[in-house]
Amino acid sequence: MEARCLLGFLLLLSLSSFAFAIYEDQVGLADWHKRYIGKVKHAVFHTQKTGRRRVVVSTEENAIASLDLRTGDILWRHVLGKNDAVDQIGLSLGKFVLTLSSQGSVLRAWNLPDGQMVWETDLQISNPSNSFLHVLGNVKSGRDSLSLVCNGGSIRAVSSIDGLVVWKKDLSVDGLKLKHVFQPPESDTIYAIGFIDSSQIALYHINAKTGELLKHATQASSVDLSSEISAISSDSLVALDSSRSNLLLIKFMAGTITYHKLPLSDIVQDFSGLAELIPTKSNDIFVVKTPSSVAFIKVKGDNELELIGKADEAGIVSDSLTLSEEEQAFAVVHHSNNAISFQVRINGREALTDGIKIEDHRGHVKRVFLNNYVRTDKSHGFRALIVMEDESLLLMQQGEVVWSREDGLASISDAVVAELPVEREGGVSVVEVEHTLLEWLKGHMLKLKGTLMLSTPDDMAAIQAMHLKSTERNKMTRDHNGFRKLIIVLTRSGKVYALHTGDGRIVWAHLLTPLLQSESCPSPSVLTLRNWRVPHRKALQENPSILLVGRCGAGPESHGFLFIVDSYSGKELETQILDHSIAEVVPLPLADSSEQKLHLVIDNKLNAHLYPRGSDSLEVFIREMANMYYYKVENAKGVIKGYAFKKGCSTGSSAYCFGTRELWSVVFPSDSERIVATARRKINEVVHTQAKIMTNQDVMYKYISKNILFVATVSPKATGGIGSAAPDEAWLVAYLIDTVTGRILHRVIHQGAQGPVHAVVSENWVVYHYFNLRAHRYEMTVIEIYDQSRADNKDVMKLVLGKHNLTAPITSYSRPEIATKSQSYFFTHSVKAIAVTTTARGITSKQILIGTIGDQVLVLDKRYLDPRRTANPSQEEKEEGIIPLTDTLPIIPQSYVTHSRQVGDLRGIMSFPANLESTTHVFSYGIDLFYTRIAPSRTYDSLTDEFSYVLLLITVVVLIVAILVTWAMSQKKDLQEKWR
């Protein structure tokens, strides 16, 4: 009996090693999360002696963030909506961050230490326009202070404590646009200056406490005024005219306005081009930036201007920084080659000159924000926050880069996956083997202690450190499981990054704009990213490469370019400036003998240009040209057209240029349908089997076609946001169209439904998400398509013996005999993006990857979206795995692959296979980046990295010993019984 108990305990102990769980020390081993903020457009420093020093920024991604001034780490961050762009930020009372957004319509206050929103005020502006925020420094009521929001011809004073509008003043003048508001020291009067239709100057005196209009004056101007203005004293300001070549010195005294026009060429020698006025504070000095220099000008006398300083090179100039009542500082930054020259000028005189070396992939300086600090000798020191062309952020101080942030990764527009190089074989020393063996034994002993719950916190930290080291996830070579790869991404600025899937680090980065800029390509912009060469076993000596396609100008008729980059190193391999435009790039499922993928570049005249250009690629394409088709979706016109290719084109006689001929068109009536979404299968998706065994042992064949296009249209009144149309006026129509023939395979109408529509197509099914106005809930619908033309192949024995016609050629021109199954379900969340998992051989079950409105990624098993679900499934259906029907799809908290993390402003999700069939990679991007590996059907083809081989070995040894002991005991017992 004791022997049986011992055996049972040991068996249970051995099976426990296969239990699936995630421990604390496993967090971050197979996933990583990177937080960014985007391209900075406003910055405010907070460097008081007490508390943490920080800089508060707003970005073009509508993010508001507080950064640690010492490290650049994000202390807190908030991402506003797409239609809630930040116009201006400021500090109030030393503890609130004020943000003005939505064209001056919304004012918010955030707590400076932790970023919690204190209050939000809707200013109820009927006609939002260019607005600005001004925090009053002299008007206080107890601990409160007022902030002025100026929009058009209206001013609102808002309390900084509770966000209440203290007073409101509408200056009822048509065409009035306020440009500047200021308050003289120790005064309760506000001066508001504006322009009326760019031809009159208006001045308003307003009581700061009550909003009462004290006096106003207007003065006609003989020249048109620009929008730029700078206050230089308590009774004067300077402005540029519309030609940007003349200065207007405007003065207002005793309620009257006078102005004096001064040509800029009389002040700045060799002036030419257009000038720019830099905002300054009131101390009789202002700054004018010209195409060739930066001029510091001082007002001298009544109508005289004096040049007191000049930087001969044109650079980026910061806003003025007030050092005292008499001193203002400006930063002038120049960029040349790989160096940044940093110069600080105080009242025009040079006070500091410094320089740093930077990487060549950052581009030119775009913005600079200046801040000062007091040194130990009581002198002024300066630091600068610099925004680069690639949208990265640098903090420069004392001639060094204190920290840098790659915030260009917050604006990813496209991404592809590339393999890492193969690990080269080499000898390993005995010392390395012994060291590895010792580390292996030490690691498994620590794991054993953790399993027996005997480990200390130091042991747990050592286990996690060993995990990170032993998994070798950060090596720059590929592994047999296919876990280590490169994710190559393209950003809005035209910069390309290669990210390692192990930890998300940047392997290499290149900004393409400076490399491509030339006389033949004056303003390059990158459009898309494609795999160019993907070498296989027969060509592993060739490095993989990627193709970047773009235009040399802003218009669609601009000439295009092709830029080919080595995937391993980022090295430029080839650049081609094309002699035609680029409307679309069509990757083909073909490759030449050197494993370069064939691409067709469609120009704006619908000619197709073949790349790469070579006799081999031309021969391959011409051989398959009869089976190549192209379709074009024109959303604005509501038309989808299909084309075939033919030899010869209208723009020249090149052998690599092919014409197109229209085969079909689908026209949606504009008075009833508008195209809102399209989706199609991935070109490289692998389908394991076409047959699907039903519960009654019947066989149904999936309709597998790479030519299926999903199209969603809505009624014209339902093209707006949710609620823009009544349920009776809204409908959504879903189409499945064959892009070879234009035949509509399936069509379904959802009455009372509207977008936004998000869809994904895989194998023989499509899943799409929309809003049901009648039910006031979101819905997801699944449609599965089956091929009825293979009804003779339903005998399983024929499949086993190979007596079937599954290998018979199929043509899209034969009318398909299809059957569809569909089902709709309610879904709790709004959706930002949707994708499907992909694996190496297509055997593993599919899962839907859903980007929710909460900026998280949810995994939903495809079985929940099975159209054959019924309320009471039979026993056979239960055995097949069909889940009982419910009207709502379940949201399981453990199904969030992002766990508790958020991917701010989630825009896209991509899935790509590993070498292990059970595992797939998931990469999601927005302002943040998140990567993980998931196993939709568990890791059935491998043991996990955490599997304890030592525990298994001990278990086997103990079992052997137990068997020997029990055998000896049994022999002894038998012998004793025989002696009785």
Q: Report pLDDT digits (tens) over 426-437.
A: 443 333 444 455
Structural element, H or E, at residue 660: strand 657-667
pLDDT tens by residue, 270-285: 777 788 888 777 677 8
Flag whether 13 is in a domain: yes
Both tokens of residue 219?
């003065």
Cα 789 from Cα 779, distance rounded (Å): 32
Instruction: Say what the pLDDT of residue 15 is.
Output: 35
What 3-state class would DSSP assign to 21? coil
Helix, strand, coil percentages, rounded to 5, for the chain: 15, 45, 40
Cα 530 from Cα 876, distance rounded (Å): 46
- Dihedral of the alpha carbons of 438, 443, 445, 447, in degrees to the nearest 10: -170
Average pLDDT, stretch 499-506? 92
pLDDT tens by residue, 327-384: 888 888 988 878 888 889 888 888 888 888 888 888 889 999 999 988 888 888 899 9
Instruction: Provide the H-helix boundaries in 663-814.
Output: 796-801
Instruction: Say what the pLDDT of residue 18 is.
Output: 34
Start-to-end CA distance of the chain, whole Å, equals: 22
Domain boundary among 635, 667, 699: 667
Flag whether 234 is in a domain: yes
Cα 55 from Cα 70, distance rounded (Å): 10
CA angle 416/420/426 to nearest 5° reads 175
Instruction: Say what the pLDDT of residue 807 is.
Output: 59
Instruction: Say what the pLDDT of residue 939 is.
Output: 80
Residues found in the chain: 980
If one compares 688 and 436, the residue with the highest pLDDT of the two is 688
CA angle 738/743/749 to nearest 5° reads 95
Band (pLDDT 50/70/90 cuts) for residue 520 is: confident
Backbone angles phi, psi at 266, to 5 degrees: -75, -20
Instruction: Provide the H-helix boundaries in 511-572.
Output: 512-516
Both tokens of residue 486?
């490169």
Average pLDDT, stretch 633-651? 90
Would you give the DSSP letter of residue 624?
Answer: H
Range among 677-681, 799-803, 808-812 with highest mean pLDDT value? 677-681
- What is the tally of structural domains in the chain? 4
Residue with tokens 């996956």: 417
Backbone angles phi, psi at 841, to 5 degrees: -120, 5
* Buried-exposed string 936-961: b where 16+ CB fall within 10 A, e elsewhere: bbeeeeeeeebebebbbebbeeebee
Report the percentage of the chain scoring pLDDT > 70.
88
Band (pLDDT 50/70/90 cuts) for residue 698 is: confident
**Does residue 701 have a pLDDT over 90?**
no
800: nearest Cα among 702, 705, 699, 703 = 699
Flag whether 775 is in a domain: no
Cα 980 from Cα 975, distance rounded (Å): 9
Q: Residues 6 or more apart from 222 whose CB is under 8 A from it? A: 261
Instruction: Say what the pLDDT of residue 796 is.
Output: 56
| Strand bridging mode 857-861 / 847-852 | antiparallel
* Buried-exposed string 762-778: b where 16+ CB fall within 10 A, e elsewhere: bbbbbbbbbbbbeeeeb
Band (pLDDT 50/70/90 cuts) for residue 800 is: low
If one compares 595 and 73, the residue with the highest pLDDT of the two is 73
Q: Residues 6 or more apart from 381 whose CB is under 8 A from it? A: 372, 373, 374, 375, 397, 398
Range among 142-151, 175-184, 606-615 with highest mean pLDDT value? 606-615
Q: Residues 6 or more apart from 456 whose CB is under 8 A from it? A: none
Domain boundary among 282, 314, 346: 314
514: nearest Cα among 522, 506, 505, 503 = 522
Cα 529 from Cα 956, distance rounded (Å): 53
Structural element, H or E, at residue 438: helix 430-451
Instruction: Say what the pLDDT of residue 73 is.
Output: 95
Average pLDDT, stretch 167-174? 84
Flag whether 691 is in a domain: no
Average pLDDT, stretch 151-157? 87
288: nearest Cα among 67, 298, 500, 618 = 298
Band (pLDDT 50/70/90 cuts) for residue 388 is: very high
Which segments of 221-319 are extended strands (E)?
Answer: 225-233, 236-241, 246-253, 256-263, 276-278, 285-289, 294-300, 304-311, 316-317
CB-CB contact of 784 with 820 (8 Å): yes
Instruction: Say what the pLDDT of residue 375 is.
Output: 84
What 3-state class would DSSP assign to 264? helix
**Does residue 481 have a pLDDT over 90?**
no
Cα 238 from Cα 278, distance rounded (Å): 11
**Does residue 487 have a pLDDT over 90?**
yes
Cα 498 from Cα 838, distance rounded (Å): 21
Band (pLDDT 50/70/90 cuts) for residue 538 is: low
How far is CA 656 from each of CA 575, 577, 608, 619, 912, rounded to the nearest angstrom?
A: 18, 16, 8, 10, 32
Cα 747 from Cα 373, distance rounded (Å): 68
Band (pLDDT 50/70/90 cuts) for residue 472 is: low
Structural element, H or E, at residue 960: helix 949-979
- Across the chain, mean pLDDT equals 85
Domain containing 1: what range?
1-17+948-980
Instruction: Say what the pLDDT of residue 2 is.
Output: 45
Q: What is the DSSP string of 467-493?
A: HHHHT-TT-SS--TTS--EEEEEEETT
Band (pLDDT 50/70/90 cuts) for residue 1 is: very low
Backbone angles phi, psi at 914, to 5 degrees: -95, 175
Q: Residues 6 or more apart from 209 whose CB is under 8 A from it? A: 139, 141, 188
**Does residue 805 have a pLDDT over 70?**
no
pLDDT tens by residue, 742-788: 999 999 999 999 989 999 999 999 999 999 999 999 999 999 999 88
How far is CA 220 from each of CA 192, 278, 788, rounded to the nearest angstrom?
A: 17, 25, 81
Structural element, H or E, at residue 430: helix 430-451
Cα 137 from Cα 157, distance rounded (Å): 13
Question: Could you count the other beta carbons within 10 Å of the beta carbon of residue 364?
Answer: 16
- Dihedral of the alpha carbons of 804, 808, 812, 813, in degrees to the nearest 10: -110
Out of 47-61, 255-269, 352-366, least confident range: 255-269
Structural element, H or E, at residue 785: strand 777-787
**Does residue 853 have a pLDDT over 70?**
yes
Flag whether 470 is in a domain: yes
Instruction: Say what the pLDDT of residue 459 is.
Output: 72
CB-CB contact of 147 with 133 (8 Å): yes
Instruction: Say what the pLDDT of residue 531 is.
Output: 92
Domain boundary among 264, 297, 314: 314
Flag whether 766 is in a domain: no
Average pLDDT, stretch 823-837? 95
Cα 89 from Cα 147, distance rounded (Å): 11
Instruction: Say what the pLDDT of residue 139 is.
Output: 56
Instruction: Say what the pLDDT of residue 90 is.
Output: 92
Would you give the DSSP letter of residue 518?
Answer: S
Flag whether 629 is in a domain: yes
Both tokens of residue 470?
């032993």
Out of 47-51, 417-421, 821-825, 965-969, least confident range: 47-51
Out of 61-65, 258-262, 584-588, least confident range: 258-262
Q: Which amino acid appears at position 348 of this protein?
A: G
Flag whether 189 is in a domain: no
666: nearest Cα among 745, 600, 605, 601 = 745
Instruction: Say what the pLDDT of residue 428 is.
Output: 39
Instruction: Say what the pLDDT of residue 429 is.
Output: 38
Instruction: Say what the pLDDT of residue 799 is.
Output: 57
Cα 483 from Cα 942, distance rounded (Å): 13
Rg (CA), the chain: 34
Both tokens of residue 613?
């250009």
Q: Residues 6 or more apart from 264 whose CB is under 8 A from it? A: 245, 246, 247, 271, 275, 288, 290
Instruction: Say what the pLDDT of residue 602 is.
Output: 94
